[in-house]
Amino acid sequence: MAEKRYFWLKLYDDFFTSKRIKKLRSIAGGDTYTIIYLKMQLKALKTDGYLYFDGVMSDFAEELALDIDESPEDVKVTINYLMSVGLLETNDGEEYKLPFLDKCIGSETAHTQRQREYIKRKKDRELLEKASQNDVDVTQMLRVSDVEIEKEIEIEIEKNNNKRFTPPTLEEVREYCQERGNSVDPETFINFYESKGWLVGKNKMKDWKASVRTWERNRKEEKPKTNTDIYRQYQHGNYDFEALEKETRNR
């Protein structure tokens, strides 16, 4: 059984002062759209910055709105804006990439978290014993202890993050596909990614099982397509952001 992993979103200190976010917030309803963008990032933490349209609702925006408990109209405005400034990308209307999120994902295993707590308890006991013997400032020593613990944990996390991706065998992919009961052809999957050097876009693959699940989604029965291409719909939405900004300034 895979060990539980905890994820968190790291924001750069210039997030709210970056031009793209300042422009988003200047639009009427911009604070809501900014919250939606943050929710999108949180939702994509465990999938390496990707969001997927599973076809549960009529389009990606409605499905995402359902997932993050926001208004479909607000989500549509947010998606259109993010795509217009390069903060959201898609090629097929089913897989969406938040291109800068991979630099903002933090994670650690449950083991590392337990190790952090154990080291802290051990260090605190040792420091309290030394403090009682030498009559020194306990608070100051505990602060130093916390810094040392963080350094030790960072080294452990770095070791975990440096583990190299190992491509799966044909049998491993076959067993996983059978386990999920999907129609993905294991040999085609292996041949495809071997020809690409096991890259997903421009990045080295991290989780081949996640890629199998993506293929699984793409191979499910699709609803009849309308004449309006989903990607074109979001790429060239009918939202006039300049007009929205002027409306905000005139209030």
5-105+226-242 topology per CATH: Arc Repressor Mutant, subunit A (1.10.10)
Domain definitions of the chain by residue range:
5-105+226-242, 109-161, 170-218
The pLDDT tens digits for 95-137 are: 999 988 877 776 555 555 566 666 677 776 776 676 666 555 5
The confidence score (pLDDT) of residue 187 equals 93
Angle between helices 30-43 and 72-84 (to 10 degrees): 80
The confidence score (pLDDT) of residue 216 equals 85
Residues lower than pLDDT 50 in the chain: 1, 223, 227-233, 235-236
pTM of this prediction exceeds 0.85: no
